[in-house]
């Protein structure tokens, strides 16, 4: 399964999506900071599963309709930062979709995630990650989960990775940095958290009109999926 995650920077990079999907034969597309009033129901052979409705800067998930069938969708508001209270950019920071693999006869959960900005503490972002994974696990016990997106976590990623691994998940960074706009904040912002998947690789794709670079996750269902245990990512 090939999944692209892309923060569109206030929808500026929306025109690049069809080309990305076709060029990389994408199965699932997860978006952040998109204008949900200006996205199509179909995009280069992908079907819109759903998008957030209460965000100024929204989330969306597309899937390949001849490969998957959307079973259930869940959008969730996570613990707010001061930035969220003042500027209200994103009421819902998680959009998860349970997909049924038609050929394999198995279900997977794929989610688009957008953490609080750098003005918030890492502890708040860890709380958001923990809550997000817990809610995704509620979409189905033991189902493989892949959560991709903009984690806004450029420093102390090793500590976050350790916290995640202690509770059954894997945190996977891409092969190159994913954010380049500000000199002192460049680094890895966009990555993947998973359980029940074997992540073959996460590749940073060339930069377009966004300050974030898209990432391409290549994954397959692991030999054992296990049950998600998110309560301890604190």
The pLDDT score that the predictor gives to residue 161 is 86
Is residue 64 within 8 A of residue 78, CB to CB? The reply is: no
The pLDDT score that the predictor gives to residue 100 is 98
Q: What's 39-68 look like in SS3?
A: CCCEECCEEEEEECCCCCCEEEEEEECCCE
Q: Is residue 149 part of a domain?
A: yes
Query: How large is the C-alpha radius of gyration of the chain?
Result: 16
> What sign for the dihedral angle of Cα 32, 75, 234, 81?
positive
Q: Is residue 21 part of a domain?
A: yes
The pLDDT score that the predictor gives to residue 16 is 98
Range of the domain at 173: 2-221
Give the strand order in the sheet containing 28-34: 42-43, 46-51, 58-64, 28-34, 2-7, 215-221, 197-204
Q: Is residue 188 part of a domain?
A: yes
The pLDDT score that the predictor gives to residue 95 is 96
Q: Is residue 228 part of a domain?
A: no
224 C-beta neighbours (distance < 10 Å), count: 8
Kindly give the confidence (pLDDT) of every residue in the chain, 234 residues in length, as a single tens digit, with 9 standing for 90 and above. 999 999 999 999 999 999 999 999 999 999 999 999 999 999 999 999 999 988 777 999 999 999 999 999 999 887 665 556 445 555 789 999 999 999 999 999 999 999 988 777 888 888 899 899 989 999 998 999 999 999 988 767 788 888 888 878 999 999 999 998 766 567 888 999 999 999 999 999 999 999 999 999 999 998 655 444 444 565
Give the phi and the psi of residue 195 in degrees, each rounded to 5: -145, 135
The pLDDT score that the predictor gives to residue 70 is 97
Q: Is residue 229 part of a domain?
A: no
> Whole-angstrom Cα distance, residue 16 to residue 180?
18
The bridge status of strand 28-34 relative to strand 2-7 is parallel
Q: Is residue 233 part of a domain?
A: no
Q: Is residue 203 part of a domain?
A: yes
Q: pTM for the whole thing?
A: 0.90
Run of H or E residues at 150: strand 145-150
CATH number at residue 206: 3.60.10.10
The pLDDT score that the predictor gives to residue 83 is 53
Q: Which two tokens stand for residue 89?
A: 């950019």
The pLDDT score that the predictor gives to residue 166 is 82
The pLDDT score that the predictor gives to residue 228 is 45
Q: Is residue 227 part of a domain?
A: no
Distance linking the first and last C-alpha atoms of the chain? 30
Number of domains present in the structure of the chain: 1
């Amino acid at each position: 399964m090939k999944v692209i995650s892309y923060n569109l920077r206030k929808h500026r990079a929306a025109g690049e999506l069809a080309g990305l999907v076709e060029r990389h034969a994408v199965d699932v597309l997860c978006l952040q900071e998109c204008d949900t009033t200006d996205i199509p129901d179909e995009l280069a052979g992908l079907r819109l599963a759903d998008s957030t409705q209460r965000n100024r800067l929204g989330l969306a998930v597309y899937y390949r309709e001849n490969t998957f069938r959307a079973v259930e969708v869940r959008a969730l508001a996570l613990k707010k930062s001061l930035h969220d209270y003042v500027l209200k950019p994103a009421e819902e920071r998680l959009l998860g979709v349970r997909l049924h693999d038609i050929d394999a006869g198995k279900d997977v959960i794929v989610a688009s995630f957008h953490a609080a900005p750098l003005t918030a503490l890492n502890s708040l972002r860890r709380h958001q990650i923990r809550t997000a994974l817990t809610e995704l696990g509620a979409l189905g016990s033991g189902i493989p989960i892949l959560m991709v997106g903009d984690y806004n976590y450029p420093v102390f990623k090793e500590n976050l990775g350790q916290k995640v691994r202690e509770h059954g998940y894997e945190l996977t960074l891409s092969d190159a940095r994913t954010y380049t706009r500000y000199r002192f904040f460049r680094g890895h912002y966009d990555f993947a958290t998973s359980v029940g998947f074997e992540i073959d690789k996460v590749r940073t794709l060339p930069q377009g009109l966004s300050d974030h670079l898209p990432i391409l996750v290549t994954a397959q269902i692991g030999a054992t999926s296990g049950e998600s245990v998110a309560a301890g990512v604190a």
